[in-house]
Structure 1
Amino acid sequence: MYHNIASVPDGINVYRSLYVSPTKFSRQMAMLRALGYRGLSMSEAMPYLRGERTGRVAVLTLDDGYVDNLESALDTLRRYGFTATCYAVSGYIGRYNAWDEHKLGVRKALMSVDQLRAWHAGGMEVGAHSRTHVRLSQCTDQQQRDEIHGSKAELEDRLGVGVTQFCYPYGDYDERAVDATRDAGYAAATTTDRGRASTGASTDLWRLPRIQVARHHLLPQVAAKVLTGYEDRRA
């Protein structure tokens, strides 16, 4: 789980962990490749998650749809033959992080329609991250439907591609949100719950855990998170 692939802007004192520099990101992808892993988008990973295929794979996701993902991650991913899923907030396409700007004190640019299309044209996937980046457990049933179903519809309409993956904003979800995600036709959904995803028939594809990679994580720490039960023990 990544967010910004960029250096930390001046003046940010909170959520600095959401930034991974382009150099660190490149080294992390090189490490995965050297260890024999394939970096995959959510859709390409589905056969592995369902237990239909086996292999050494790492599923790569980036939340929110920041412009720096296109500018600083795409070329690196393509260099190693990897794919990734970027979850976009459909109501803020081409705008900025209105949901946490007041906490950060900085506006972070989000990809426009053309930039999301460029991301997709580069072999990557666009997933949905709700319409307005709300806490879904605090929404009414109708609001949840609007956020979850509406995000899929808006992205598909504006991008002209199918959107089959969802990510719960803030990692916040309840049973209603999970049901709404299934009903909307998403193939899977990711959380911010810690741990590595299991595979096979018992896997809950709409409550998938992830491994956060943060600014302060050194390369050996990233390796430990991916290769060992480090994150699983903290689930």
Structure 2
Amino acid sequence: MNPTPILTFHQIAPEPPKGTGYRSLSVAPPDFASRMGFLKTLGWRGLSMTALLPYLRGEAHGKVFGITFDDGYLNNLTHAVPVLQQLGFSSTCYVVSAMLGQTNSWDRHNGVPPSELMAQQHLQQWLAAGQEIGAHTRHHVRLPTLDAATCQDEIAGCKTELEQITGAPVHHFCYPYGEYTAGHVAQVAQAGYASATTTQRGRCQSPDSLLELPRVPVLRRTSRPLLWWKLASNYEDRRRA
């Protein structure tokens, strides 16, 4: 099986001021459109996690990559969806279910300005646009710092809340901060998720567990040639811990 890349995005928003925490995680809207259009021109197709599953399982083959957005920012809906629709791409946005309509308060201590998260009506718009919603815990927690019962509530409860809110199935999970243990993987499986993504760098290979999938970060200064190199070569694979 050819390696399958899963791209990671956070905010699709104008460049934050110098000195802003996690500044590299904001990709300017024109840059996002340019990069996605570039990959489309090269014959690549961006897919949601559900659409990507047959490729991850080795059941299908093609020039495809996954598109994921972490945290559920409103600017994903505003700036990314029109581009994805125009190109015929789909994506998965990992949402923090108990914080809909609020801000990324978990980043405050890192000097990140508050940014609005999608509310219930925005999730419906996201789904209506042909995109997919995944789970990112209820409160964007550090799972290894919590007891097993609380982790279970955060992992399984997020799925339940999002399905109740949207009426759509939630099959995919993302570990906040990329922090997890074997016990959390077991809880994700028990909750019924079909896949889970990490912050481990690399393209997905055939031996990878579907509940511990690596991803390819796309940052503010990731140029179009570098993005292609990340997808088409072992550039990211060599950075896997």
| TM tier, smaller | over 0.9
Corresponding residue for residue 191 of structure 2: 184
Read off the aligned partner of 1:218 and give its amino acid letter. Answer: S
1:163 aligns with 2:159: no
Corresponding residue for residue 14 of structure 2: 7
2:118 to 99, 104, 111: 111
Residue deviations 1:59-93 (CA, integer Å, cap 9, x gap): 00000000000000000001110000000000101
Higher relative contact order (CA 8 A, sep 6+): 2
SS in 1 for 2:9: coil
Q: Partners in 2 of 1:181 and 1:218 — Cα distance?
A: 34
Read off the aligned partner of 2:37 and give its amino acid letter. Answer: A
Read off the aligned partner of 1:165 and give its amino acid letter. Answer: H
Read off the aligned partner of 2:38 and give its amino acid letter. Answer: M
Tell me the CA shift for residue 9 of structure 1.
Answer: 3.4
Q: Partners in 2 of 1:78 and 1:113 — Cα distance?
A: 21
Read off the aligned partner of 1:8 and give its amino acid letter. Answer: E
Task: Calculate percent identity across the aligned residue pairs.
Answer: 45
Corresponding residue for residue 130 of structure 2: 123
Q: Partners in 1 of 2:191 and 2:72 — Cα distance?
A: 21
Contact 2:93 2:133 in 1 (8 A): yes
Contact 2:22 2:112 in 1 (8 A): no
Q: Partners in 2 of 1:10 and 1:56 — Cα distance?
A: 36
Corresponding residue for residue 80 of structure 2: 73
Q: Partners in 1 of 2:163 and 2:139 — Cα distance?
A: 16
Contact 1:50 1:203 in 2 (8 A): no
2:55 to 30, 48, 56: 48
Output aligned runs, 1:201-216, within 5 Å: 202-216=207-221
SS in 2 for 1:106: coil
Contact 1:189 1:205 in 2 (8 A): yes
SS in 1 for 2:82: helix
Q: Report the TM-score when normalising by structure 2.
A: 0.94
1:218 aligns with 2:228: no
Q: Partners in 2 of 1:218 and 1:203 — Cα distance?
A: 28
Corresponding residue for residue 3 of structure 2: none
1:229 aligns with 2:234: yes
Tell me the CA shift for residue 12 of structure 1.
Answer: 5.0
